[in-house]
Chain A
Amino acid sequence: MNIFRLAGDMTHLFSVLVLLLKIHTIKSCAGISLKTQELYAIVFTTRYLDLFTTYISLYNTIMKLIFLGSSISIVWYMRHHKVVRRSYDKDQDTFRHYLLMLPCLLLALLINEKFTFLEVMWAFSLYLEAVAILPQLVLLQRTRNIDNLTGQYVLLLGAYRALYVLNWIYRYFTEENYVHWITWVSGIVQTLLYADFFYYYFQSWKNNVKLQLPA
């Protein structure tokens, strides 16, 4: 495993820990999009079906279980915890996230590495992950005061995506037969969504004005 991949996994892990910290210690999920969290829970559930069929490494298995368990528990907390759910910005978090799922499924049926159930689900999870952050970005744009933890959560997620792109470049040049077009294209689309957002985020921060994304 190269340094970019490890750093990518660690920033991903930290992003989840930051979110769990906010939920457990402050008992708040203000500024966090339940829509995005639900999409992530679906992303990891459909991607890690190979937990039952393929063993890669202990590291791989543990990380998969962490991402599965944390994403499902975050959704549970936001929906059902009697204190946490009260801080959820329900009226602002209006993105119709289920509409993203059908096109991703159709694309996965058409474009996959192999036409098997596991591979179609894997491709679906990649396409869905690419757009899963959209409800969160829309919510951030609407929320007047973004607290530090929410800002750090999105920053860590963006870093995770950027580091994975570096990891792919590194692997392409150092490993033979390492070509994964589906992963790369959906990963780059996802990274560009973050980059575009951060551009406006830092602009508004620099000029000290409320974040306004172009329509």
Chain B
Amino acid sequence: EEDAVQHDEL
């Protein structure tokens, strides 16, 4: 399973 990029901004 590939790690998804985490986007913590809106």
- Residue ranges of A at the interface with B (Cβ–Cβ < 8 Å): 5, 9, 12, 50, 53-54, 56-57, 60, 63-64, 67, 113-114, 116, 118-119, 122, 164, 167, 183
Contact = CB atoms under 8 A, between A and B. Distances in A.
Interface of B is mostly: loop
Contacts of B8: 56-57, 60
Interface residues of B, number: 8
A44 to B, nearest CB: 9
12 contacts: A5-B9, A9-B10, A50-B4, A50-B7, A54-B4, A54-B7, A56-B6, A56-B8, A64-B10, A67-B10, A114-B5, A118-B4
B2 A116 contact: yes
A89 B6 CA distance: 40
Interface of B: 2, 4-10
A118 B5 CA distance: 9
A114 B8 CA distance: 16
A60 B10 contact: yes
A18 to B, nearest CB: 18
Q: Which of B2, B6, B10 has its CB near the most chain A CB atoms (within 10 A)? A: B10
A42 to B, nearest CB: 16
B10 to A, nearest CB: 5
A176 to B, nearest CB: 15
A122 B2 contact: no
Contact of A183 (B2, B4, B6, B9): B9
A41 to B, nearest CB: 15
Contacts of B10: 9, 12, 60, 63-64, 67
A57 B9 CA distance: 11
A171 B5 CA distance: 18
